[in-house]
Structure 1
Amino acid sequence: MAEDDRESWLAGLQVRSPAPVRTATLWAVLATGLLSMLLLGDGLALNLLLVAIPAALAAYFAGRAAGRRTRAWTLVWGVGGLGLLIVPALRDADWPSFLAVVTAIALGSLALHGGRTWPAVLLGPIGVFNSLVAGPAWGWRGLRERFGGARRSVGAGLRALAVSAVLLLVFGALFAGADAAFADLLGDLVPDASVSGGPWHAVLLVFGLVGALAAAHTAAAPVQWDRVEVPEGRPRGRFEWALPLIVLAVLFAAFNAVQLAVLFGGYDAVLKNTGQTYAQYARQGFWQLLLVTLLTLLVIVFALRWAPRDDAGDRKLVRGVLGTLCGLALVVVASAVRRMDMYVEAYGLTRLRVSVVAVELWLGLVIVLIMAAGVWGARWLPRAVAASAAAGVLAFGLLSPDGLIAERNVQRYEDTGKFDLDYARDLSADAVPALDRLKEPLRSCALRPIAYDLEATDAPWYATSWGEARARDILHDRPPAKDPDWSACSRVADDLMYR
């Protein structure tokens, strides 16, 4: 692309300068910074949602000042992004929480920018990162314009804040000294703002202010990613386009026929002929079928790009061939999930296994959405795919993967006597309710490392997840052995692994 073409392309995405910062936006930004400073230093749980709410309000006020209307999809993205932040408040495990936070940022970007095309869905976060520099400068200009000639008003406001702080400290200290219960309540509710953590608190304050200003600036002056035009591919002739896809569909049909025959005829004959074990057959098949699903989606994307589109007959051909391929691909998805279920029966459930099954199921849903787009049009498809991904991440976090892993493995132990004790020790506090069902000494062997981790942390209420709080209650009522015999635990682990 030539330099002049690149500059004109970028200029086409630029929008007018944002409206001046309003007072409501400034107060929301200040609230975000203060809550970040006070709440985020002890870990992430409910505090992340408490910080995100005023940041969302800052973006809302800035968007309203710029004349933007709140549309239905904006509400979907905004509420969905805030809803995803419930996952860290509920789950102690870091990996679903991290996934939920990243997805919440992506949905927040969609809410700020809007847009309905694939470039808008995929490139939205770039505009937010650009506002990390432009947002603070925009906020500073607004402050200077608003308070540059009103030093007396600023001074009066600062004096009022100082007097309020002094009154709270004096009377709060007196009430705390008068009643121990009130002192405990005050200690639980008031965040720690000790001088020793001053530099870290300052970093969190800046983080909150810059993040809220970036969100507000993006809402006031979003990048119009819908203006990005993706050129259509050159349409091919019917024979050139359809023949490879029909051959591929025949191959899919043959594979699916074999899978149905194995399903109804049983696996014993297949295992006898291949010389594989039950677990080897399942493990080998799953990863190949997962790759088949991914490649099928890639083939569909390129097929749509080069599809013939001269008349109604071409459109019927495209819908028929790709619809058949999508239907056969769904059978492959079902076969892959069944293979993983077989593997889990043999070796138990792990984080990797539950994650890839979730991805496979989501890919199957994307194929269903593509089939629906072939019937009702594809205008809504980019946003539907993004919404399905966010809903999948939210459901993944709400289902508690670590709890599900522990539940499945404990059930497998009760059925077969096999249990991976070393893996259970590395699970988070979300697994405690399921592991609590184990019999001694296996229960103490599995729960003691988790109990050690919980004893080593004493986070305040706003940085404690519900999963961690529930685990503490269970371990308080039925504490594991203080000093379990770790050599005995190792022997138990070896016996259970190779039973």
Structure 2
Amino acid sequence: MMTEHTPENLKETQVQIATPFLPHIISLIIMVIFDQLAWERKFGLQFFLLVLMILLALFIMARVEKKHIPWRSYLLLAPILLGATMTIFQKASSTTFFNIVLTLLGLILLAIALRNGQWLGYRIREVAMGILLLIESMIVDPIKILIENKRTQKKPPAGEKNRTWRRIRPFFIGLVIAIPLLLIFGALLASADLIFREQLSSFFDLFKIENLAELLFRTFYIITLGYFMTGAYVHTLVRSAKEKDITPDKPLVQPFLGHVEAFIVLGLVNLLFLSFIIIQFRYFFAGQANISIEGFTYAEYARRGFFELIIVAVLSLGVFYLMSAFTKRSTRATRRTFSALGILLMLQVGCMLVSAFQRLSLYEAAYGFTTLRAMTYIFMIWLGVLIIAVALMEVFNQFKRLALVLLIIFFGFTLTLNLFNLDRFITQRNIAHAQAGNPLDASYLVHNLSVDSVPALFEAEQASETSPELKEALTAILACKLTLRDHSGREGSWPEWHFSESTADRLFEQHRGRLENYPLSLKSESSIYEEGGQRFEDTYQYYYFEVGGEEIYCMPVD
């Protein structure tokens, strides 16, 4: 749908808004608040609060500027708020990363399509071009809106300057009167309350000469990020109103590859994949005996090539998409043949994913779960969904929906990570793996998983069906985790609050008495070195515990 160049639309492209200083002021306020919440603090509520401030400010400015927002744009609040909210409830770094990425993707789409509401129909080219224009706006528009506003201002009539001063004077006089009173009352309150005095002193410590470098750096990044945020707001409020011509679906690059060449490429790749699948069915899927004939153990064969299969699947999707975009298909017969070869390719890629999934299952059965293995399980499931979607898009000639499909797939992947609670899931599966008679990777449970794993550790330790040996190992793991937690100094301010941290604190406090009395072993190791012709001896002490005869490092002694 083409947009008519009405005077109103022309005005929008001039980046004029009724309150040009408002985005600057709001962006700086947001960045100052975020700096106070996040500087030298542990990750907690800060990202969630930042996103809420950004959204609240955006919708307030849209109302002030009387900008209409289509209902379709409000749908983007779902991925934005899901990602931001789950950063409070999931502590695993991998899940937190994907939550943040999902939130940022939602905010970017909101910025480039808030007022036209066309994001559901965007192709990859519209998304890419929208991001480039957004970056341009973040650099140029904060200055441009001030320049264009000044150009459109009428010359002030006689006496206007005096009238402006009369408006400003009350604020100036109020500040002159208030500042001495604040100093007096502040000094008295500081004398009356030691905690208030410490907080006040820490504020004024920022302005000491030894803190000058820190103050300058914080001021610099607040102003810089505030400037870019202003440009993003201006783009969202003004430039996102311009509708994009997304129909009819004209290709960005005209097809240039002949159908014969495409058929040869797809046909040969299909033959290669078919030979691989035949071998897989003959050996891998047929069981351990057939693999042993070729000189491999079942575990060795399963470990080989797992990630290569995932890469092949991803590359196959990319190759098919490019072939579909660049191949000329002028007749009905060529279109059907190409689609048949493409669907066959997707089916064979699906078979290879099944092989990769089975290999990963053998990994897990032999060695237990890790973060990478658990995430790969979930990734393969959603990669399979993408393969089905690609096949359907080819059948119905809807590859223009690829950008939307990818967003939905990523949303589903991130939602699944949150629903699984990755570290809790890994802990439960590894404990079940040990309960079945396999070795327990205690070191991984201690050092590689976040506090999301703590409730699952306590549940298993308290469960009646847990064997005495495993229960002893879990108690040692929890005692070590409590020692590490106490050593790290967990107490923090309210911006650092996190649901998982709070839950772990509550559980550790309930069981502190018995865990503190658990006898972690102490070990000393010495090393001798020479320096300047003299011999020195360093002694290193650390706590550890044993699981199945294996020494598990806990933490160093202060």
TM-score normalised to structure 2 length = 0.71
CA contact (8 A) 2:280 2:355 kept: yes
Question: Counterpart amino acid of 1:303?
Answer: M
CA contact (8 A) 2:457 2:474 kept: no
**Distance across 1 between alignment mates of 2:169 and 2:336:** 72
**Distance across 1 between alignment mates of 2:366 and 2:412:** 30
What's the counterpart of residue 194 of structure 1? 203
Moved more, 39-48 or 321-330: 39-48
Question: Counterpart amino acid of 1:311?
Answer: T
CA contact (8 A) 1:33 1:207 kept: no
Q: 1:215 to 1:280 in 2, by over 3 A?
A: same
Deviation readout 1:475-495 (Å, 9 max, x if unpaired):
111133366215584542654
Q: Secondary structure at the match of 2:13?
A: coil
Question: Counterpart amino acid of 1:325?
Answer: L
Structure with the larger RCO, 1 or 2 (CA within 8 Å, 6+ apart): 1
**Distance across 2 between alignment mates of 1:429 and 1:464:** 13
Does residue 525 of structure 2 align to residue 492 of structure 1?
Answer: no
What's the counterpart of residue 6 of structure 1? none
Percent identity between matched residues is 18
**Distance across 2 between alignment mates of 1:143 and 1:291:** 52
**Distance across 1 between alignment mates of 2:18 and 2:298:** 65
**Distance across 2 between alignment mates of 1:86 and 1:159:** 44
How far does residue 284 in structure 1 lie from its aligned partner after superposition?
Answer: 0.9
Pick the structure with more strand per residue. 2
Question: Counterpart amino acid of 1:476?
Answer: E
Q: Secondary structure at the match of 2:336?
A: helix
Match of 1:286 among 273, 289, 306: 306
Question: Counterpart amino acid of 2:330?
Answer: D
How far does residue 216 in structure 1 lie from its aligned partner after superposition?
Answer: 0.4
Structure with higher Rg: it is 2
Deviation readout 1:57-92 (Å, 9 max, x if unpaired):
334455677786534553333431232112321122
How far does residue 121 in structure 1 lie from its aligned partner after superposition?
Answer: 2.8
Q: 1:51 to 1:302 in 2, by over 3 A?
A: closer
Q: Secondary structure at the match of 2:304?
A: helix
Match of 1:319 among 311, 325, 339: 339
How far does residue 154 in structure 1 lie from its aligned partner after superposition?
Answer: 5.0
What's the counterpart of residue 477 of structure 2? 445
Match of 1:431 among 443, 453, 457: 453
Any gaps of 5 or more consecutive residues in structure 2? 1-11, 114-118, 155-159, 208-214, 462-470, 524-542, 553-558
**Distance across 2 between alignment mates of 1:321 and 1:396:** 34
**Distance across 1 between alignment mates of 2:490 and 2:144:** 40
**Distance across 2 between alignment mates of 1:154 and 1:102:** 44
Moved more, 328-337 or 134-143: 134-143
Question: Counterpart amino acid of 2:253?
Answer: P
How far does residue 247 in structure 1 lie from its aligned partner after superposition?
Answer: 3.3
Q: Secondary structure at the match of 2:404?
A: helix
Any gaps of 5 or more consecutive residues in structure 1? 1-14
Q: 1:210 to 1:407 in 2, by over 3 A?
A: farther
What's the counterpart of residue 403 of structure 2? 382
How far does residue 215 in structure 1 lie from its aligned partner after superposition?
Answer: 2.4
How far does residue 384 in structure 1 lie from its aligned partner after superposition?
Answer: 2.0
Question: Counterpart amino acid of 2:425?
Answer: L
What's the counterpart of residue 507 of structure 2? 474
Q: Secondary structure at the match of 1:70?
A: coil
How far does residue 251 in structure 1 lie from its aligned partner after superposition?
Answer: 3.6
**Distance across 2 between alignment mates of 1:283 and 1:191:** 60
**Distance across 2 between alignment mates of 1:424 and 1:155:** 64
Q: Secondary structure at the match of 1:379?
A: helix
What's the counterpart of residue 391 of structure 1? 412
CA contact (8 A) 2:257 2:326 kept: yes
**Distance across 1 between alignment mates of 2:206 and 2:90:** 27
Q: 1:213 to 1:398 in 2, by over 3 A?
A: farther
Question: Counterpart amino acid of 1:196?
Answer: D
CA contact (8 A) 2:378 2:416 kept: no
CA contact (8 A) 2:28 2:222 kept: no
What's the counterpart of residue 98 of structure 1? 97
Does residue 28 of structure 2 align to residue 19 of structure 1?
Answer: no
Match of 2:496 among 457, 463, 469: 463
Does residue 266 of structure 2 align to residue 245 of structure 1?
Answer: yes
Q: 1:274 to 1:417 in 2, by over 3 A?
A: same
**Distance across 2 between alignment mates of 1:318 and 1:192:** 73
CA contact (8 A) 1:333 1:360 kept: yes
How far does residue 103 in structure 1 lie from its aligned partner after superposition?
Answer: 3.3
How far does residue 193 in structure 1 lie from its aligned partner after superposition?
Answer: 7.4
Q: 1:130 to 1:354 in 2, by over 3 A?
A: farther
Q: 1:388 to 1:65 in 2, by over 3 A?
A: farther
CA contact (8 A) 1:59 1:217 kept: no
Q: 1:153 to 1:398 in 2, by over 3 A?
A: farther
Q: 1:336 to 1:400 in 2, by over 3 A?
A: same
**Distance across 1 between alignment mates of 2:172 and 2:355:** 67
What's the counterpart of residue 37 of structure 1? 35
What's the counterpart of residue 253 of structure 2? 231
**Distance across 2 between alignment mates of 1:155 and 1:32:** 27
Q: Secondary structure at the match of 1:234?
A: coil
Q: 1:405 to 1:270 in 2, by over 3 A?
A: same
What's the counterpart of residue 309 of structure 1? 329
Moved more, 311-320 or 136-145: 136-145
What's the counterpart of residue 374 of structure 2? 354
**Distance across 1 between alignment mates of 2:417 and 2:201:** 33
Deviation readout 1:396-429 (Å, 9 max, x if unpaired):
2453322222222122111124112222222211
Question: Counterpart amino acid of 1:326?
Answer: M
Give the CA RMSD over aligned residues. 4.3
What's the counterpart of residue 12 of structure 1? none
How far does residue 434 in structure 1 lie from its aligned partner after superposition?
Answer: 2.1
CA contact (8 A) 1:249 1:324 kept: yes
**Distance across 2 between alignment mates of 1:278 and 1:447:** 38
Q: 1:124 to 1:484 in 2, by over 3 A?
A: farther
Q: 1:331 to 1:170 in 2, by over 3 A?
A: farther
**Distance across 2 between alignment mates of 1:444 and 1:143:** 67
Match of 2:356 among 336, 347, 351: 336
What's the counterpart of residue 119 of structure 1? 125
Q: 1:101 to 1:140 in 2, by over 3 A?
A: farther
Q: How many residues align?
A: 473
**Distance across 1 between alignment mates of 2:232 and 2:433:** 47
Q: Secondary structure at the match of 1:276?
A: coil
TM-score normalised to structure 1 length = 0.79
CA contact (8 A) 2:15 2:141 kept: no
